[in-house]
Amino acid sequence: MTALRSVRVCGFAITADTAASTAKFVQGTGTNCGTGTADLTGAMAMGIASNVTLGSGLGELFKTTAANALCLTAVTGTITGVVSYAKY
């Protein structure tokens, strides 16, 4: 998080663990976006050991409001992944 800057997501690949899972990207402040949390995406449902990939790393898919952090939240199950982003 940087004051007056937004986190702009350019691409991501997330994977569900050994159980069906649901994930979403959120923004907020505080530890792990614990304060002022707002959804940036809808919930993405994934089957067992499946993945969701979006974006090529070129261009912006979505962004946070300035001075907010970006967090990937596992609504259900366990999620791992990687995010390509820029801050400006």
What's the rounded mean pLDDT across residues 25-35?
A: 94
Cβ count near 28 (within 10 Å): 21
- Residue 79 included in any domain: yes
- Residue 2 included in any domain: no
Count up the domains in the chain and report the number.
1
- Residue 81 included in any domain: yes
Q: Is 74 exposed, middle or buried (0-12, 13-18, 19+ CB in 10 A)?
A: middle
Question: Which domain covers residue 49, as residue numbers?
Answer: 7-87
Give 61's DSSP letter. S
Give 58's DSSP letter. S
- Residue 83 included in any domain: yes
- Residue 67 included in any domain: yes
- Residue 1 included in any domain: no
Mapping DSSP to helix (H, G, I), strand (E, B) and coil, where does residue 33 land? Answer: helix
Q: What is the pTM of this model?
A: 0.89
52-83 tens-digit pLDDT: 999 988 899 999 999 999 999 999 999 999 99
Whether residue 18 has pLDDT greater than 70: yes
